[in-house]
């Protein structure tokens, strides 16, 4: 009863009665129904993120003398990104180098006096206080020399810091500086992304985390690219639930050698796992599976989980568009919603594993209309041919 009451709201805006005009062929997105007894899938949405991101800043203040890169520029590790006017820093280094030479000479002189004093003190030529003065002068000369050397080390480090270099190969994601601009230390100057691999983080329910060892495959689809899903790998599974969403973070990673996937792109992550034990009593299964909209504990071979966008309502009944690969046309087929899970719904009807249904654009279709699946490359050629051939 609850499901029947919710459907009109959830399907608002879906297909109305078809117009009387001759329909034209429309591109659609298809889903092929799998055998529920063979696998179970869960889909979650997320956004692409670089595998590494570094917010780079100068460690010293100064005026920007040159910016070598612009937004989107590809750089290699060690490449110069920007440079400060280093005139004052070079002068400081030169001055301290001169001071260090003088300090070294003072140490040599103090050391010679100290060694001569040791001989004279041993021969009772000078007093103890005179020898102590020579020893103190030697220690002070060394301390002064060491202080100047440390100052020179810091000055050289500051001079090196006037050049901002790429810590790894990547792409310039943001540029916050311009030539002749005065900058302060630690103020972000350039953001560098490593997009050789892409990570997507999604939030999953506790029931999913509890069965993470049953996952057999992971794939990611970036709709903006208009290409089939690509294989991915789980990088990390968080153990601390988000206080707001009550979901656990799962991070997956996918190679991006051609840099086609960009940070921020919307991603659909699909996890495929081994089936759960079957429960023979269908009525008990439906009750246990969808009470309080919880994720199913058992797999029902007579139902399928599909996106809610695949459903439309007409004459107080719920339908999906079924695609015939022989004719290239669609026909509507009544289904019975069993329960909801996020943006998906489990349906029961006379559909069979291997059948195709339309999962996007259902509101524009008519019975018998020809359609062209734009994601046909997701399926094997044999699946798109007639089973009687």
Give the model's pLDDT for residue 315.
83
Give the model's pLDDT for residue 337.
82
Cβ neighbours of 39 (radius 10 Å) = 14
Cα dihedral sign, 371-377-379-384: positive
Q: What is the pLDDT along the chain (389 residues), one digit of tens a residue?
A: 445 555 555 555 444 554 555 567 888 888 888 766 555 678 889 999 999 999 999 999 999 999 999 999 999 999 999 999 999 999 999 999 999 999 999 999 999 999 999 999 898 889 999 999 999 999 999 999 999 999 999 999 999 999 999 999 999 999 999 999 999 998 999 999 999 999 999 998 887 888 888 888 999 999 899 888 999 999 999 989 888 878 899 999 999 999 999 999 999 999 988 754 443 344 443 444 433 333 433 334 457 888 888 999 888 888 999 999 889 899 998 888 876 666 788 787 778 888 899 988 888 889 999 988 877 666 654 455 544 44
Cα–Cα distance measured from residue 167 to residue 221, given in angstroms and rounded to the nearest whole number: 30
Domains and their CATH numbers in the chain: 1-38+276-389 (2.40.420.20), 51-86+162-194 (2.40.50.100), 93-149 (1.10.287)
Q: Measured between alpha carbons, how far is residue 342 from residues 48, 202, 307, 339 in Å? A: 21, 13, 9, 10
Bridge partners of 47, per DSSP, are 266
Cα–Cα distance measured from residue 227 to residue 247, given in angstroms and rounded to the nearest whole number: 29
Backbone angles phi, psi at 339, to 5 degrees: 180, 165
Cβ neighbors of 156 (< 8 A, separation 6 or more) are 93
pTM above 0.75, yes or no: no
Cα–Cα distance measured from residue 7 to residue 129, given in angstroms and rounded to the nearest whole number: 101
Give the model's pLDDT for residue 166.
97
Q: Measured between alpha carbons, how far is residue 77 from residues 81, 158, 171, 191, 331 in Å? A: 10, 21, 11, 14, 57
Cβ neighbors of 162 (< 8 A, separation 6 or more) are 58, 60, 62, 83, 84, 85, 86, 89
Cβ distance 107 to 141 under 8 Å? yes
Give the model's pLDDT for residue 202.
93
Q: Which helix (H) or strand (E) holds 138?
A: helix 128-160
* Angle, CA of 318, 368 and 221, to the nearest 5°: 65
Q: What's the distance, Cα to Cα, between the start and end of the chain in Å?
A: 44
In sequence order, what DSSP letters do the residues of 296-322 get, joined into one string?
PSS--TTEEEEEGGGEEEETTEEEEEE
Cβ distance 334 to 346 under 8 Å? no
Name residue, tokens 């509890």.
210
Cα–Cα distance measured from residue 356 to residue 141, given in angstroms and rounded to the nearest whole number: 88
Cβ neighbours of 383 (radius 10 Å) = 13
Cβ neighbours of 212 (radius 10 Å) = 14
Cα–Cα distance measured from residue 237 to residue 227, given in angstroms and rounded to the nearest whole number: 27
In sequence order, what DSSP letters do the residues of 64-126 get, joined into one string?
EEEE---TT-EE-TT-EEEEE--HHHHHHHHHHHHHHHHHHHHHHHHHHHHHHHHHHHHTTSS
In sequence order, what DSSP letters do the residues of 184-247 get, joined into one string?
-TT-EEEEEEEEEEEEEEEEE-HHHHHTGGGEEEEEEE-GGGT---EE-EEEEE--S--TTT--
Give the model's pLDDT for residue 164.
97
């Amino acid at each position: 009863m609850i499901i029947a009451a919710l459907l009109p709201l959830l399907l608002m805006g879906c297909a109305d009665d078809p117009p009387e005009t001759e329909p034209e062929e429309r591109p659609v997105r298809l889903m092929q129904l799998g055998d529920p007894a063979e696998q179970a899938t869960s889909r979650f949405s997320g956004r692409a993120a670089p595998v590494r991101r570094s917010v780079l800043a100068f460690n010293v203040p100064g005026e920007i003398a040159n910016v070598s890169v612009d937004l989107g520029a590809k750089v290699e590790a060690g490449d110069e990104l920007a440079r400060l006017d280093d005139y004052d820093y070079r002068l400081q280094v030169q001055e301290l180098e001169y001071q260090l030479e003088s300090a070294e000479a003072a140490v040599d002189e103090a050391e010679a006096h100290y060694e001569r004093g040791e001989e004279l003190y041993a021969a009772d030529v000078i007093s103890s206080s005179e020898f102590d003065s020579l020893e103190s002068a030697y220690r002070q000369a060394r301390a002064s020399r060491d202080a100047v050397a440390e100052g020179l080390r810091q000055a050289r480090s500051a001079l090196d810091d006037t050049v901002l270099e790429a810590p790894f190969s990547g792409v310039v994601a943001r540029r916050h500086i311009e030539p002749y601009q005065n900058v302060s230390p630690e103020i972000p100057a350039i953001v560098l992304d490593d997009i050789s691999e892409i990570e997507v983080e999604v939030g999953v329910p506790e029931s999913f985390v509890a069965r993470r060892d049953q996952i057999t495959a992971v794939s990611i689809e970036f709709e903006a690219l208009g290409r089939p899903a690509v294989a991915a790998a789980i990088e990390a599974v968080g153990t601390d639930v988000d206080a707001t969403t009550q979901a656990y973070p799962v991070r997956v990673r996918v190679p991006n050698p051609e840099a086609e996937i960009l940070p921020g792109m919307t991603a659909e992550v699909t996890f495929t796992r081994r089936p759960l034990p079957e429960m023979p009593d269908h009525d008990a299964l439906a009750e246990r599976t969808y009470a309080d909209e919880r994720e199913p504990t058992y797999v029902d071979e007579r139902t399928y989980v599909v996106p809610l966008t695949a459903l439309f309502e007409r004459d107080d009944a719920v339908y999906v568009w079924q695609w015939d690969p022989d004719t290239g046309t669609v026909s509507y087929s009544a289904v019975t919603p069993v329960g909801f899970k996020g943006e998906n719904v489990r349906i029961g009807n006379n559909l069979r594993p291997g059948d195709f249904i339309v999962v996007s654009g259902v509101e524009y279709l008519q019975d018998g209309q020809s359609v062209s699946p734009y994601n046909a490359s997701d399926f094997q050629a044999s699946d798109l041919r007639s089973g009687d051939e």
